[in-house]
Amino acid sequence: MPEPSQARPRLIGQLWFQVAAGTAGGVALALLDPALGVQMKPLGDAFIALVRMLIGPIIFCTVVHGVAGMHDLRRAGRVALKAIVYFEAVTTLALLAGLALVDLWRPGAGMNVNVAALDAHTVAGYATQAKQQTIVDYLLGIIPNTFTGAFVQPNVLQVLLVSVLFAAALSMMGERGRPLVGLIGDISQVFFRIVALVMRVAPIGAFGAIAFTIGKFGAAALASLGGLLAEFAVVCVLFVLIVFGAVMRAMGLSLFRLLFAIRDEIVIVAATTSTETVLPRIIEKLRDFGCDESVVGLVVPAGYSFNLDGTCLYLATATMFLAQATNTPLSPGQQLGLLAIMLLTSKGAAGVAGAAFVVLAATLGSSNAVPVAGIALILGVHRLLAEGLTFVNLVGNCVATLVVSRWEGAVDRDTLLARLGRTAAA
């Protein structure tokens, strides 16, 4: 057994521990001096901006190198189709699970909130933004104004589109394109090294992000809406353990070994409430698990737009909570109708600041079943709810990539089982 003095440097040197320490420091500062905690926001914003500037180039290099190296564009289409089928099945299940638990728990019952008394001005901006984003606008928004425009304000779907088009054209060049494919593979390694450098400041980013969240929304919001926060935490944990756990067991893999393997990313996401901050590292780790680069390059970016299981849990939970709190009756048919709307509106959650909250406003505005002004009730705790939904989104996209990789036979089984296989200890 190693001496404590020997074990301590290894623990301190691990990213998850450093980020956890930064997070704890941010919480402590915000509780002691909330105003000072709010002023730490630029630290979190700067870290998120550093990672976002790398997302476009990394997706481009990974997709182009992987897809162009397939030598078979039909396979790329097959992978995309399998991913969409899985995404739709699991997100639908997430909506049903969120609806079932909130109906049983009923955290909003008894609040008897008068909608007319709510300050609608506090959510007017979100409601306006939601109305401006139609399905047609969303689909047209996938096409950038210029090829390079996709990288200016990184939109995951725009980058994915130009990457697939570039990869298809490069693949059609045959042997003449091989040197460029190799060069792009080398360039991707440079960007992953930059990610490693940026991650060194992750503890500082986590400190600033969590200090702002707790300082601005923490103590008072926790006290007034504790039932909703507790219910949502439970539904997130149950969904991960039951649904993702069952999927992992069906593949002969361990969910707990996966959670341990991505512990750094889980802590970063919890502190920043943004899954974008770990997208490059998730791509790299899934490749290390034995998944084929071409599958990882397609499924992970697409999952960030179409496989938002946590966002679906949030939409179902928040909508029914607001209905309960405002004494708005919803029949089973109306609830199922809302779920159908959420399946569409949730697809617009990628690449938008405060995305889940905007999508919630869009859902309520589309249905008119629950007053849109009611979202003012949860504005103060949205960032705290985002702790749960981003965690589920992160784990869900990792599991989805493993599923599609196994389904497609594009995985090194020995490597995957060695890293995530079920063992007695797991």
Residue appearing with tokens 């000072």: 36
Q: How far apart are CA 243 and CA 249, in angstroms?
A: 10
> Does residue 299 sit within a domain?
yes
> Does residue 256 sit within a domain?
yes
Q: Exposed e or buried b for every residue in 44-71, given b needs 16+ CB within 10 A?
A: beebbebbbebbbbbbbbbbbbbbbbbe
> Does residue 70 sit within a domain?
yes
Stated as kind and residue range, the H or E segment containing 419 is: helix 413-420
426 residues of the chain, pLDDT tens digit each: 344 444 444 777 788 788 888 888 988 998 888 889 889 989 988 888 888 888 888 888 888 888 776 666 788 888 889 999 999 999 999 999 999 999 898 888 877 777 665 555 555 555 555 555 566 776 777 888 888 888 876 677 788 889 889 988 888 888 888 889 889 888 988 988 898 898 889 899 889 888 887 787 666 555 657 788 889 999 999 999 999 999 999 999 999 999 999 999 999 988 888 888 888 899 999 999 999 988 998 899 888 878 889 989 999 999 998 888 888 888 888 888 888 878 776 765 554 445 677 778 777 776 677 777 777 778 767 777 888 899 999 999 999 999 999 999 999 999 999 999 876 444
Q: Of 135, 79, 88, 118, which is closest to residue 300 (Cα–Cα)?
A: 79
Number of separate domains in the chain: 1
- Structural domain of residue 19, as residue ranges? 4-420
- Residue 246, Cβ neighbours under 10 Å: how many? 10
Angle between helices 309-325 and 355-367 (to 10 degrees): 50
**Bridge partners of 291?**
411
Q: Exposed e or buried b for every residue in 267-284, given b needs 16+ CB within 10 A?
A: bbbbbbbbbbbbbbbbbb
Q: How far is CA 60 from CA 26, 145, 154, 389, in A?
A: 34, 17, 11, 26
391 with 270: CB under 8 angstroms?
Answer: yes
295 with 301: CB under 8 angstroms?
Answer: no
- pLDDT of 426 reads 41
- pLDDT of 346 reads 73
If you write DSSP's letter for every residue of 5-55 in order, what string do you get?
HHHHHHHHTSHHHHHHHHHHHHHHHHHH-HHHHHTTHHHHHHHHHHHHHHH
- pLDDT of 369 reads 74
The upper half-sphere exposure of residue 12, i.e. CA atoms within 13 Å in the direction of its Cβ, equals 6
Global pTM?
Answer: 0.81
> Does residue 271 sit within a domain?
yes
CATH number of 256's domain? 1.10.3860.10
Tokens of 38: 């709010």
> Does residue 426 sit within a domain?
no
If you write DSSP's letter for every residue of 384-415 in order, what string do you get?
HHHHHHHHHHHHHHHHHHHHHHHHHT-B-HHH
- pLDDT of 8 reads 45
If you write DSSP's letter for every residue of 280-325 in order, what string do you get?
HHHHHHHHHTTB-HHHHHHHHHHHHHH--HHHHHHHHHHHHHHHHH
Q: How far apart are CA 358 and CA 355, in angstroms?
A: 5
> Does residue 425 sit within a domain?
no
Quote the radius of gyration of the chain (alpha carbons, Å).
22
> Does residue 8 sit within a domain?
yes
Q: How far apart are CA 156 and CA 59, in angstroms?
A: 8
- Residue 160, Cβ neighbours under 10 Å: how many? 23
Q: How far apart are CA 350 and CA 140, in angstroms?
A: 14
Sign of the dihedral through C-alpha 381, 383, 384, 389: positive
- Residue 210, Cβ neighbours under 10 Å: how many? 30
- Residue 72, Cβ neighbours under 10 Å: how many? 11
Residue 411 phi, psi dihedral angles, 5° rounding: -150, 145
Q: How far is CA 382 from CA 2, 128, 379, 387, 397, in A?
A: 44, 18, 5, 9, 22
- pLDDT of 244 reads 97
Residue appearing with tokens 């909570």: 321
If you write DSSP's letter for every residue of 225-289 in order, what string do you get?
THHHHHHHHHHHHHIIIIIIHHHHHHTTB-HHHHHHHTHHHHHHHHHH--GGGGHHHHHHHHHHT
Q: How far apart are CA 199 and CA 277, in angstroms?
A: 9
Q: How far apart are CA 143 and CA 357, in angstroms?
A: 24
Calculated CA dihedral for residues 264, 267, 272, 278, nearest 10 degrees = 30
- pLDDT of 332 reads 83
